[in-house]
Every structure is written in structure tokens, then in C-alpha cells.
A and B are shown apart, each in its own frame.
Chain A
Amino acid sequence: MSHKIVSKRQVGEDVFWAQVEAPLIAKARKPGQFIILSIDGDGSERIPLTIAGVNPGSGTIELIWQRVGKTTAALADLKEGDEIANIAGPLGTPTHIERFGTVVCVGGGIGNAPLLPIATALKQAGNRVISILGARDRSRLILEDRFAEVSDELIVCTDDGSYRRKALVTEPLKEVCQRSPKPDHAFVIGPTLMMKFCCEVTRPFGVPTQVSLNTIMVDGTGMCGGCRVEVDGAPKFVCVDGPEFDGHKVNFDLMIKRMNAYKKQEQQAYEEYKQHRCKIGL
């Protein structure tokens, strides 16, 4: 069963949004879960993508992705009406949602996409939601409006100051932690380095911090173990034990190294795709 792209648009520099038919996933998915897709049949790579939202009524899921390699670029080249051959999910353990009190949700770049359903669920559970969104520049900031709807307080910053406050997300996060009372829980999703530094900010304040990891995966059901990370010194599988973990216990340095395992091959594949794309005049 393939999955039709119902609507699709570019929402930022190298960032794309699409609504895709996947009725069973739309029905089953809970905040924090993800999917694995491959575009064609044989030979196509399987990549994990977060689910930004679902519409169980129309049987669609919302995907947001950043163009970083061959598969994400090929996905960006698909048009409305095109089909994605394989989507499996929802995968991963759903986010533990409860009424913590005051929560701070920190999103970096594309991380805003998986963070949105979590912030929404936290708000619905009766939490006071402070959202901090960051991006490299204005063109890469996504979902600000939708975060505004579910947040009691919204802080937006860009690395280069091209929009709102010029800062890295760690700065406002520190200020929020210094408030009295401090937040009861933090949820951080974004680039690995950003999550690492956010955890360093919340650690001295003793604010429990949940991170969502997006490691390399093949099957996404615990079968291959390629996604494993060290949490509290022990190996954990992101696809089944996660994707969310206590950020204060994650070995981010090792995770970053593992994520670079195929860098050369990924670049090679992307370059070849770009050349091929030129030739066929896309």
C-alpha cells in the first residue's frame, strides 16, 4: 500500500511540510512517536521521520523534514499527488504526558516538528507551557504560529538575530530555569549538540529534562540495534526504548560520533543525486 501526498509545501530554507495518507498511523499515533519511510521499492533507503501532527478524520499524517541528503532531497522533489511506497509506524514509545506543573519546551530547527504534538499534549494535560524556539535564521524557523496557540509563553530566537531575539536557545532556557519557581520539567528536541548544551543548562538547576533522539536506524522495531546510544552507561535502543530519554544521562558525544558513521557515503549519494537531478532537469 503506497501513501499519497495530499498536500506539500516548502516552509523554510531546506525545510518541507507534507500531508500524507496513512490512515492507520493517523489513528494509532501518540505524541513522541515517529515513522520510517522509504520512497520507492527496492534499493530505497529507510529513514526515520518525526510526525508533526495527525488528522485521524481524513486519515493523514503531517511530516516535516529538512533536506540534508539524498532521501530527504528526493522526498522534497515529490509533488502533490505523488506516492511514497513505504511508511511504517507509529514507532517508538510515546511521550509520558502528565500534569507536571510548569513545563519548558525547547525546540531547535527541525526539532520544532516533533516537539509540537508534545507541547500540545502537555497543554491539554493542564500544564503551563513555556516554549522556546530557536533557528539558525529567520528562513529556518518553523511552526511559530502553532506553538503560539499552545503556549502560555513563547520565546523565539535566531542565531544571527535576523528575527526576534539574537541568541542560542540555551540563553533564554537558563533565564527560565533561574525563575522562581523553576520549571518542573523540560522537553528538548533539536540538533544533537543543542540538546547536549540544553541538558548542561538544566542539570545544575535539577530540572528533569527529556530529549528525543533521532539516530541512524534500519528497521525501527528493535531488530538491528543500529540506533543504540549509551544512557547511564548502558546501551539503549532509540527505536524501542526511546526515542525519548533522560537527557542528563545520555552520552551525547558518542551519539554524535555514531551519527557521523556514514557521512562520506551520505555525501557521495547526495552529490550523485544532485547531478542526476540536474541531468533530468528538475
Chain B
Amino acid sequence: MVGTAHPTKAPIVTSEERKKLLQDLLVKKDSGGLKTKDRLAIPPQEMPEQDATARCRNVGEVALGYTEEQARLEAMRCLQCRNAPCVEGCPVRIRIRDFTGAIAEGDYRQALAIIKENSLLPAVCGRVCPQEVQCQEKCTVGLSLKDVSKAVSIGRLERFVADWRDERVPPSRVAGILPASRGQDALDTKEQGRNALSPSHLPTFSPSSTPTVAPPTGMKVAIIGSGPGGIVAAADTRRAGHEVTVFEAFHKPGGVMVYGIPEFRLPKAIVQQEIETLRKMGVKIVTNFIVGRTRTIEQLMKEDGFDAVYIGVGAGLPSFMNIEGESLVGVYSANEYLTRANLMKAYQFGSGADTPIARSKRVAVVGGGNVAMDSARTAVRLGAEKVYLIYRRTEKEMPARVEEVHHAKQEGVDFHLLQNPKRILGDASGSVVALECLRYELGEPDASGRRRPVAIPGSEFQIDVDTVIIAIGNQANPLIRQTTPGLGFNKWGNLIVDENCKTSMEGVYAGGDIVLGAATVILAMGQGRIAAAAMNEYLAKKRECRKS
């Protein structure tokens, strides 16, 4: 078993010192206010997290969340800039300055209310948004300290208030010191080992307040896909009083948040909570329903009486590299690997789950995005002895969040940069035995503005592996396109929509990856919200017409 290392990262200051610092700052604030100098002097608050060795043996969440005084200290680092550049960096324009201000005041209810004006899923976004290239990139504190990693940790603060609402930090414990008890919880998680299903450091979620719903309008809305965009579109159209049905192809709702993003990064209990809220609002959720196969969009609208449709089906067709050996046993798309591990709980194979997954010893993951990091870190947790991450550019160009890269390294993932597979080698049984790679160097910038990786001729070398996971992105799933003749698609197979997320078909709206290509949870959510507003407007007009 693992050593006795403390499950949380060694804090820069002890919690007693933090408490004292907070007291001092509060006193100072009351007697004349905090100056920029005082705020910049507050040390950036580190996120408590499970010890790197321990967490490789469980699926419990890695980042454990701020304590109350950490949150307030971090929020006090915010300079309350008049122009609030952070808001410009947020895809859904959350009033960040105002919610950090509320946290600094200790008014978490208000902070959450401010976030909820623009974002329905703060507990999710606080965990998975790439803040360092969004709000935090624009933060004046980070710019002043000439280090974006020292910007105000907006995402962690968002998570704090979202979890607080869920009694993650119960009021009775607010005044006390959390890390000790939380540390114990994390140890328990560790003891449960790899089969820990629900990490015990997570609270039992209390029922959150269910948003109010307007009186019935008699209009029916179909939401295709129960990912982040679908959830938001469903909630917003339901609030307007429409009868809303969410159709999900899998047996479990949540989309990429359930099949893709691992438990250790986004506990499934949080997603379930959001789905429950939808149900309580009266949204009907139909699983195992594949729009295009079970029913087409045309049938939903013409025969089943749906007045408007939102398409949020995600990307959903994994890209492969088209190199030799990609059909060998042991080669996975990241989608398959993560779906087996997350949705189907293959980490519990033989003790509650029937879905198998490769029992890998040496794994190569190809790609440099969040999905590649998730795959590599999942492989670590499934017991691989060696996990390589192969990426053809340098770390600077990696699209993954800095935090994920950092965590992957902590967990022992071996980064092979400026390398790319040439072919996959197999044995007589058709199983992977090695990956042949080429070394690369960076040339001129390409269309994306990143320097183009150029292969170095003759630089081939082999890595012995038994599993290869291809995490180089997705294409648009053609099912909707093939079964809905009236819809306009671009040459990549993505749906064409206007600024209101309206497609070329009347009453049909779309958002998320099927429109944007590979995007993020927050962008999908943003589009779900835009589409819902447009749908509500469209349905109001339609209803007027129907009346007259």
C-alpha cells in the first residue's frame, strides 16, 4: 500500500495562520479598507488535494476544495477592478468581480446567486473550465504579479460556493478548521482502494432549491442529448413553462460529464444532482433513445407534437490517425477507453461491473488535450505500471488545462514531447507490442498560430507498450445529418447555426460540439442558454399564432 504521506498538499501556511491572517485582514478592512498593496500581499491559496501516490490507487476526486477561510482569503486577493477584465474572459460573462466580492464578505448565498444568473452548473464549471485561458488569463492580479498562475483562482472560488450551497461545507463547520476532517475523509477514500465508487470526502448532497417553473404553455420541447448544453437548454425552456423532454442515447443521462470526464475530476454525484433538479422541475428524461434511429427529428415534430427541438448531441465520432496497426487488439479511442472506465465502471470489473477493459502494464496515450490527460490518468488508476503521453508539439502548445498536465505529471505520467506515432506494431495474436514514433521539431506557425511540428526524417524509435489510446479529437457524428434532410451542415459535418443558435430548419436549434467542433462544457452551456432564449421567444410567437 501507499506510504503515510498526508493526503493534502503541504500548505504554505497552517490553517491557524490562515485564520489569523483572515481576522487581521477583516479588521483592517473594517477600519478603512484594504489597499491594492494589501490584497496583492495575500498569498495565493493552494488547492488542497489528495496525495499524488495515494490517489493513483482510487478514483476519488483529486482536488478537495477550499476551506472557508481559504476562499475568503483568495477572494480578498481580487482587486475589484472597475473594468473587471475577468468578465471579458468568461464565455458566459459571469459577474466575477461581484461574486468574489460577495465571497470576501462571507455572503456565499449571494455569490452563488450572482453566478447562477449566467451559469447553471457552477459545481461542474468550477471544476472543469480552462480558467487560465479564460477569466484568469485577464485577471489584473496575475498581470501585476507577471504570472497567470498567481491570478485570483476564480474557478476554485466558483467551486467553493457551488459546493457550499450543497452543504459541502456545512455551516456548523464553517467556523472550524476543515482540512483535518477532510484529510481523514480522503484517507478513507484511499482505504477503499480502486473500487471506491463514491469518494467519501464528498458530502451527501442536500436537495437544492428547485427553480420555479412558469404555468404550462402547452408547447412541447425536445432536447436531444443530456450533456451540459442539453441540461441548460432543458432547464431554461422548462422555466418558461414548456413541456420538456430530454432524449439520451445512453442508459444514463449526463453526456460527456458522465461517460467522458472521469470521477477523479468531476464526481458523478454532482452531475446526478443536476439531473435530479431537472426531474424535479418536471423535465422528462428518456434514456436509450437515439434520435435519428428510434425516432427522427421529423417524426418528433410532425407526429409526436414537439414544437421546438434543441440538438446537443456532442461530437461523438472519434478520430484515428490512419496509421498501420490501429485495429490491433489493445488500441482504443479515448472515447472507448473512458466510456468503459467511467460510464461502465470497468474499474470495478468482477466486483459489481461486467464491462472489461484492458489490464494494461504499459500504456501510450497519443494527444495533448484534456481527454489525453484523462485517459493517461485513468490508465494509472487502472494499474498500469508505465504510462507515456505522446504529443507532437511542446508542452507550451498543449491544449490541456495546466492543472491537468500538472496532475498527470505528479501521478507519474511520462511526457514524450515532440514525438508522434508512425505505426503500431503487433504480435501473432494481433495484440499491440510496441509503438513506433518519429521525433519532431517545431517549424513555422500554422493556421492555428501554433508552430507546426515537422517530422525529423530517420528519427524512428520504438516504445514497448501493450495498450495505445488515441486521444486526438472527434469528428461530428453523422447520424443526425443522415436522418434529417432539412438541416444545413458545413464541410466538417458540423451544424450551421445563426447567432441565436437557430439551424436552417424552423423550430430547430443546436449548440455545443455538434456546432463548434471540439469545445468545452462552458461553451456548450453558453449555447444551450442562447438557444433556449431563442426557443422561448419562438414558442411565445408560435403560441400567439395558434391562439389567434
CB neighbours of B249 from chain A (8 A):
88, 219, 221
**A218 adjacent to B326 (CB under 8 Å):** no
Bound Cα distance from A86 to B286, whole angstroms: 11
**B329 adjacent to A43 (CB under 8 Å):** no
Q: Which 3 A-B pairs have the closest CB atoms?
A: A257-B430, A45-B354, A265-B356
**B354 adjacent to A225 (CB under 8 Å):** no
A208 at the B interface (CB under 8 A): no
Closest residue on chain A to residue B294 by CB atoms: A24
Within 238-262 of A, Cβ neighbours of B (below 8 Å) are at 240, 251, 253-254, 257-258, 260-262
| 28 A–B pairs (Cβ distance < 8 Å), ordered by A | A1-B287, A28-B293, A28-B295, A42-B352, A45-B344, A45-B353, A46-B355, A86-B288, A87-B288, A89-B290, A91-B290, A219-B250, A221-B249, A221-B479, A222-B477, A223-B317, A225-B333, A225-B335, A225-B336, A229-B327, A253-B430, A257-B431, A261-B330, A261-B358, A266-B356, A268-B350, A269-B349, A272-B350
Tell me, rounded to whole Å, the shortest Cβ–Cβ distance linking B78 to chain A.
41
B168 at the A interface (CB under 8 A): no
Within 6-47 of A, Cβ neighbours of B (below 8 Å) are at 24-25, 28, 38, 41-46
Given contacts A42-B345, A88-B289, A222-B477, contact A70 B354 (CB under 8 A): yes
Bound Cα distance from A272 to B249, whole angstroms: 30
**A224 adjacent to B286 (CB under 8 Å):** no
**A223 adjacent to B294 (CB under 8 Å):** no
Tell me, rounded to whole Å, the shortest Cβ–Cβ distance linking A265 to chain B.
4
A127 at the B interface (CB under 8 A): no
**A contact residues, total (Cβ < 8 Å):** 46
**A254 adjacent to B353 (CB under 8 Å):** no
Bound Cα distance from A219 to B250, whole angstroms: 7
Tell me, rounded to whole Å, the shortest Cβ–Cβ distance linking B92 to chain A.
26
Bound Cα distance from A219 to B318, whole angstroms: 12
Bound Cα distance from A88 to B291, whole angstroms: 11
Chain A 39-83 interface 0/1 with B at a Cβ cutoff of 8 Å (1 = within): 001111110000000000000000000000011000000000000
**B479 adjacent to A43 (CB under 8 Å):** no
Given contacts A45-B355, A87-B288, A225-B333, contact A258 B430 (CB under 8 A): yes
Within 289-304 of B, Cβ neighbours of A (below 8 Å) are at 289-290, 293-295
A235 at the B interface (CB under 8 A): yes
Chain A 99-139 interface 0/1 with B at a Cβ cutoff of 8 Å (1 = within): 00000000000000000000000000000000000000000
B108 at the A interface (CB under 8 A): no
**B293 adjacent to A89 (CB under 8 Å):** yes
Within 398-457 of B, Cβ neighbours of A (below 8 Å) are at 429-431
CB neighbours of B290 from chain A (8 A):
88-89, 91, 221
B478 at the A interface (CB under 8 A): yes
Closest residue on chain A to residue B313 by CB atoms: A221
**B354 adjacent to A269 (CB under 8 Å):** yes
**B294 adjacent to A28 (CB under 8 Å):** yes
CB neighbours of A257 from chain B (8 A):
328-329, 429-431
**B336 adjacent to A226 (CB under 8 Å):** yes
Other than A86-B251, A223-B477, A228-B327, give 16 A-B pairs with Cβ distance below 8 A.
A1-B286, A24-B294, A41-B251, A85-B251, A88-B294, A218-B339, A218-B355, A221-B316, A224-B335, A235-B327, A257-B329, A258-B430, A261-B329, A265-B349, A265-B356, A266-B356
CB neighbours of A266 from chain B (8 A):
356
B110 at the A interface (CB under 8 A): no
Tell me, rounded to whole Å, the shortest Cβ–Cβ distance linking B21 to chain A.
45
CB neighbours of A261 from chain B (8 A):
329-330, 358
What number of residue pairs across chains A and B have CB atoms under 8 A from each other?
130
Chain B 326-369 interface 0/1 with A at a Cβ cutoff of 8 Å (1 = within): 11111011011001100011001110111110110000000000
Of the candidates B288, B326, B336, B478, which one forms a contact with A224 in the assembled complex, judged by CB atoms under 8 Å apart?
B336
Given contacts A221-B249, A223-B316, A257-B429, contact A230 B327 (CB under 8 A): yes
Tell me, rounded to whole Å, the shortest Cβ–Cβ distance linking A201 to chain B.
25
B538 at the A interface (CB under 8 A): no
Bound Cα distance from A175 to B329, whole angstroms: 37
Tell me, rounded to whole Å, the shortest Cβ–Cβ distance linking B366 to chain A.
14
Bound Cα distance from A229 to B331, whole angstroms: 12
A190 at the B interface (CB under 8 A): no
Closest residue on chain B to residue A272 by CB atoms: B350
Bound Cα distance from A105 to B358, whole angstroms: 37
Closest residue on chain B to residue A39 by CB atoms: B354
A90 at the B interface (CB under 8 A): yes
Given contacts A88-B289, A91-B290, A240-B479, contact A219 B354 (CB under 8 A): no
Given contacts A24-B295, A228-B327, A269-B354, contact A38 B333 (CB under 8 A): no
**B293 adjacent to A91 (CB under 8 Å):** yes
Bound Cα distance from A124 to B112, whole angstroms: 63
CB neighbours of B251 from chain A (8 A):
38, 41, 46, 85-86, 88
Closest residue on chain B to residue A268 by CB atoms: B350
Closest residue on chain B to residue A28 by CB atoms: B294
Bound Cα distance from A189 to B330, whole angstroms: 27
CB neighbours of B344 from chain A (8 A):
45-46, 218
Closest residue on chain A to residue B319 by CB atoms: A225
Q: Identify the interface centre among B251, B330, B477: most chain A CB within 10 Å of its CB.
A: B251
B320 at the A interface (CB under 8 A): yes
Of the candidates B286, B327, B345, which one forms a contact with A258 in the assembled complex, judged by CB atoms under 8 Å apart?
B327
Of the candidates A85, A88, A224, A268, which one forms a contact with B318 in the assembled complex, judged by CB atoms under 8 Å apart?
A224
Of the candidates A1, A90, A262, which one forms a contact with B356 in the assembled complex, judged by CB atoms under 8 Å apart?
A262
Tell me, rounded to whole Å, the shortest Cβ–Cβ distance linking B501 to chain A.
23
Tell me, rounded to whole Å, the shortest Cβ–Cβ distance linking B8 to chain A.
30
